[in-house]
Amino acid sequence: MEFQDLISKRYSVRAYKKDPVEKWKIEKILEAARFAPSAANRQPYKIIVIETEGRKEELKRIYSAEWFVQAPLIVGICAIKNIAWSRKDGKNHADIDCAIAMDHMILAATDLGLGSCWICAFDVEQARRILGIPPEVEPVAFTPVGYPDDLPKEKRRKPIEEIVCYGRWQ
Ligand SMILES: Cc1cc2nc3c(=O)[nH]c(=O)nc-3n(C[C@H](O)[C@H](O)[C@H](O)COP(=O)(O)O)c2cc1C
């Protein structure tokens, strides 16, 4: 798909079909994360691929929306802060690296005709418990991955002048 089409076609899908996601598509999505840039190339994350079949009730404790577990797959990304690059002022870049990798996966999914939805308003402690995430690792974001069962909504965005300035802050 042409890039401008791809970014305009992506939307937060909040209803999914039961149809399985082909293994080759999952592999493409994961490769997209692997190709993502990261600060100092540290790649400080682990991606968890979760099949929802047979685990729906348990997984809903992570994020309670019904559609979270409708898709056959959920993909989560976790930050490993202690291997991430930090700037001189101490700012750890693991979350930024995770966001880039997640967005690569989300755009790859769109390109393959699949739906996704960024989810950060999840229960961190439940995610840790249910997915066995160790204390030094932080779950950052999840997305269902499956075939959309809803339609794109109108994109509501700020006008360009409101989000861009030139030369200096104004
Ligand atoms: C970092 C981040 C966290 C988000 N967390 C949630 C979430 O927890 N639940 C949800 O339904 N949508 C979540 N969203 C989706 C946004 O609400 C959505 O991207 C935004 O409203 C724009 O709509 P669109 O994705 O359809 O273009 C999140 C998006 C981002 C980028």
Q: What is the pLDDT of residue 125?
A: 98
CA distance 146 to 164: 34
Range of the domain at 34: 3-150
- Measure the CA angle with vertex 111, ends 133 and 60; round to 5°: 35
- With respect to residue 144, please indicate whether it lies within any of the assigned structural domains: yes
Q: Tell the residue nearest (CA) to atom 20 of ligand 1.
A: 12
67 lines ligand 1 (CB under 6 A): no
- The CATH number of residue 62's host domain is 3.40.109.10
- Ligand 1: centre distance to CA 54 (Å): 26
pLDDT per residue of the chain (170 residues) written in tens, 0 to 9: 999 999 999 999 999 999 999 999 999 999 999 999 999 999 999 999 999 999 999 999 999 999 999 999 999 999 999 999 999 999 999 999 999 999 999 999 999 999 999 999 999 999 999 999 999 999 999 999 999 999 998 999 999 999 999 999 98
**Single pTM value for the model:** 0.97
- With respect to residue 161, please indicate whether it lies within any of the assigned structural domains: no
- Ligand 1: centre distance to CA 120 (Å): 8
- With respect to residue 120, please indicate whether it lies within any of the assigned structural domains: yes
Domain count, the chain: 1
